[in-house]
Amino acid sequence: MDKDLLAIQEMRTAVKTAKSAQQKYMSFSQEQVDRVVKAVADAAYARSAELGQMAADETGMGVAEHKKIKNEVGSKAVYESIKDLKTVGIVGEDKVNKVVEIAAPFGVVAAVIPTTNPTSTAFFKTLISLKTRNAIVVSPHPYAVKCTEAALQICEEAAVEAGAPPGLVQCLTMASMDATQQLMKHPDVNVILATGGSALVRAAYSSGKPAYGVGPGNVPVYIERTAKIEKAAENIVNSKSFDYGTICATEQAIVVDHNVKERVMRELKKHGAYVLNAEEKAKMEKAISPVPGKVNPKIVGKSPQTIARLAGISIPEGTRVLIGEETEVGKDIPFSLEKLSPVFAMYTARDSNHAKELCLSLLYLGGRGHSLSLHTKNDDVAREFAIEMPVSRILVNTMSSVGAVGGTTGLLPSMTLGCGTFGGNITSDNVSAKHLLNIKRMAYGIKEVHLPKQAADASKPADETDEIVKEVLKSVNGKANIDPKMVSELVTQIVSQLQK
């Protein structure tokens, strides 16, 4: 049979199996659900290193040790954030207003997984689905099928061993775009979790199904003049080099106040940054974007050394990130794009207002709604940026990549970061288990409403009166000398009394 037809059949079978398992899972108590979720989280966490290595080997992206950390966040940190959430039966009650909240699952979750975070995202989406009594059908990225399938197999086996019905966790293995698109439109799929590029997110939202899609980042990082320069430089280099820049919340462009630029440059170099000269920058531009407006996939998640070789330049040993100074922003300006690699653009700002303009330009180019990073000791500046920037997360004095997913901040641990309506998404939250619950509400009557009496139709009584008068006059049949006008007045009075 044709491979695409086989892939579609595999998808239909997976959805059917998941739906059947989910209908059994719906009867589980909170205690049973929590037992399943803990078992899955523990099993995933225990295999984080192995799966991190497998993901790095299969995709050729990132750093295995860093992927291990992401797997730990996607398993243990996510579990800790959802373990106390009530997701079965009555989950809330307002005794004053007599409103009772009842949790109900969505059903079958269709989850699309990116190549940049294939195992950590698989762990995360499985945990939040199982916590809410949903089943999940995963479509891996074509370049990460084996590691994603292995991650999901760990989850399925742990769930079944903990008492879950077999089949709750399904993985498509044939890497078909047609099968993925049909999965998102399948009548038995109830919600979509789409993590990936803009085209994928648009497909999810146009599927006719409820969908959580997240778009690109292109995160600016502003180093304001009051920042602790050494710590800011260390955080930025560490963040950008983490898993070679594959987290969508990773900083993409540095915006620095001109009066601290020289100090920033020294500190960045101290931590492993290499600043390209004009000739090297021109070569790097061609490596970043051979086709205007499009980032070369060969640089995504690669080391600085690999990218330098691709560009045909030599860099010092130990280089952790590459920096090209830039003044312009646009689709035809390669350094201003979201590069998902350890390559930075650097812009010099005259003051905080100019910095805002630069950050806005970068966000409108491709990161609107996602995140912005800021290093400052001036809380007023931080709050000003937080109010004015069209982003869902503002990370202050931390690594943006790890901070946005909840690793170094109090944000909810998540591998799916909403961009709100700024970025065309349904939510600006870090997506978690609460986003996969229907909440039903039972409400008792606590107020009385007094409805006014309906006004009488003025024409109707007149018609009825005429008919009654005719009947009265007909019944006497000339036997008495009765004035019709008097009869009409009498009948009108009687009808009026009856209507009160």
- Encoded tokens for 63: 């750093």
Of 245, 251, 242, nearest to 219 by C-alpha is 251
3-state SS class at 322: strand
d(CA 321, CA 273): 5
d(CA 75, CA 41): 5
- Count of C-beta atoms within a 10 Å radius of residue 286: 13
3-state SS class at 316: coil
pLDDT on residue 457:
56
Buried b or exposed e, range 425-447, using 16+ CB within 10 angstroms = bbbbbbbbbbbbbeeeeeeeeee
Fold that domain 3-214+433-443 belongs to in CATH? Aldehyde Dehydrogenase; Chain A, domain 1 (3.40.605)
Cα angle 84, 85, 88; round to 5: 120
Q: What are phi and psi of 135, to 5 degrees?
A: -95, 165
Quick: pLDDT tens for 305-360: 999 999 999 999 999 999 999 999 999 999 999 999 999 999 999 999 999 999 99
d(CA 132, CA 216): 27
Mention every residue, 6+ apart, whose C-beta is less than 8 A from residue 153: 171
- What are the residue ranges of helices labelled H in 242-351? 261-270, 278-288, 304-311
Beta-strand relationship, 135-139 and 108-112:
parallel
d(CA 371, CA 429): 11
CA 467 to chain centre: 70
pLDDT on residue 470:
74
pLDDT on residue 482:
72
Quick: pLDDT tens for 179-209: 999 999 999 999 999 988 778 888 899 999 9
With a cut of 70, list the residues of the chain below it in pLDDT.
1, 455-465, 469, 472-473, 476-481, 495-500
d(CA 490, CA 495): 9
- Answer whether 411's CB lies under 8 Å from 429's CB: no
DSSP string over 255-275: EEEGGGHHHHHHHHHHTTEEE
Instruction: Please name the amino acid found at residue 423.
Output: G
Domain 219-412 carries which CATH code?
Answer: 3.40.309.10
Cα 374 to Cα 237, 268, 336, 430, distances in angstroms:
14, 16, 18, 19
pLDDT on residue 461:
55
- Answer whether 292's CB lies under 8 Å from 331's CB: yes
Which of 147, 155, 171, 248 is the catalytic position?
248
List the domain boundaries for the chain: 3-214+433-443, 219-412, 466-495
- Encoded tokens for 493: 């009075």
Instruction: Please name the amino acid found at residue 360.
Output: L
Q: Is the dihedral of CA 266, 268, 271, 274 positive or negative?
A: negative
Maximum Cα–Cα distance across the chain: 127
pLDDT on residue 264:
98
pLDDT on residue 202:
86
The H-or-E segment that residue 392 falls in is strand 391-396
d(CA 252, CA 342): 9
DSSP string over 85-122: ---SEEEEEETTTTEEEEEEE--EEEEE--SSSHHHHH
Burial class (CB in 10 A: 0-12, 13-18, 19+), 146: middle
Place of tokens 């709050």: 383
pLDDT on residue 467:
73
d(CA 49, CA 314): 32
Active site residue 171: no
